Amino acid sequence: MPESFKEKRKRILAMIRRLRKAYPDLGCALTHANPLELLVAVILSAQCTDARVDKVTPALFKKYKTAADYAGADLQELQEVIRSTGFYQNKAKNIQGAARRILEQFGGEVPRTMEELLSLPGVGRKTANVVLGNAFDVPGMAVDTHMIRLNNRLDLTRQLDPVKIEAELTQLVPEKDWTDYSHLMITHGRSRCFARKPDCANCEILLLCPRRGVKEPLQPKTTVKPLIPR
């Protein structure tokens, strides 16, 4: 029998409880002090680790403090500061383009709605959701590569397209938990549910996970009985 919507939701709530216990210090991994810094950090984090972004942003945020600073920046200077995050020419162009639009259309303040955020160059749904959830406390379901992998293994989606996954998960996960859910999944993906060789034997949500598509067998020492069929 396929799992019903109600059963899925129950499983999700149990997962959230267990993962909150496992990762009590939940939050955005990117260091920032205001919405503009977060927006810039998220743009820089594309194809780059958060740790690398956090190495670059102290100098960047010291040099450029406002949308006007980025808007009027010398593009090559900006590129040099962010070079080590990769794709720096494109990222610099997007940061400057976003800053100019923020200045011209939104009075110098990062906008607070999905629609307005999506109108900024270089800002897709994932970036917009991270900014909404972490800068403005507006629930945001940010779907990155960890979210795609984990939610497929958990059989909460069979989609690979982030927009479709976001649409499905926002139905299943209570709205107040959207931001935390993304953080929990991303943290769990980094610390346990690796792309290669997930550490299922020690996984906090093993009993709630069908391990869809996971090829590695569970280690023999694992004797737990799953709560849902595998």
The catalytic residue positions are 126, 144
Q: State the first-to-last Cα distance of the chain, in angstroms, to the nearest integer.
A: 12
Amino acid residing at 16: I
CB 151 within 8 A of CB 169: yes
Tokens of 62: 């010291």
Q: Determine if 18 is a binding residue for ligand SF4 (CB under 6 A).
A: no
Binding residue for ligand SF4, selected from 138, 172, 214, 228, defined by CB under 6 A:
214
Radius of gyration of the chain from its Cα atoms, rounded to whole angstroms = 19
CB 153 within 8 A of CB 211: yes
Q: Judged by CB, which is closer to ligand SF4: 60, or 203? A: 203
What residues between 150 and 189 interact with ligand SF4 by CB under 6 A?
153
Tokens of 153: 């293994």
Of 4-12, 85-93, 119-127, 195-203: span binding ligand SF4 (CB under 6 A): 195-203
Q: Determine if 216 is a binding residue for ligand SF4 (CB under 6 A).
A: no
What residues between 117 and 156 interact with ligand SF4 by CB under 6 A?
153
- Catalog residues that contact ligand SF4 under the rule CB under 6 A: 153, 192-193, 198-200, 203, 205-206, 209, 211, 214
